Amino acid sequence: MTNEVERERHCPTCKSYEQHRHLTPEEDAWLRKTAGETYTYDWWRCKKTGCRTLRNHGVESRNVQLPEDFDD
């Protein structure tokens, strides 16, 4: 599926399986700038309230925490 908007993945912060969504343009820009990622399509954000974890789809150990101003 190419138009998938949500995906259940394990969140390393919640320590459980949670729905994840694609990054917003703001989150995408932050990730590129902060983590130096050049290919961000594979990055997903945990949708659980209060969780600001971004993770790489394929590699859970590649994850970062968004700063507080990205709170939902």
Tell me: does residue 51 bind Zn ion (CB under 5 A): yes
DSSP structure string for 24-65: PHHHHHHHHHHH--S--TTEEEE-STT--EEEESS-TTSEEE
The answer to whether 18 and 45 have CB atoms below 8 angstroms apart is no
Tell me: does residue 56 bind Zn ion (CB under 5 A): no
Tell me: does residue 54 bind Zn ion (CB under 5 A): no
For Zn ion, the binding residue among 9, 48, 62, 63 (CB under 5 A) is 48
Tell me: does residue 46 bind Zn ion (CB under 5 A): yes
Residue 52: CB minimum distance to Zn ion, A: 8
Where does this chain bind Zn ion (CB under 5 A)? Answer: 11, 13-14, 46, 48, 51, 53
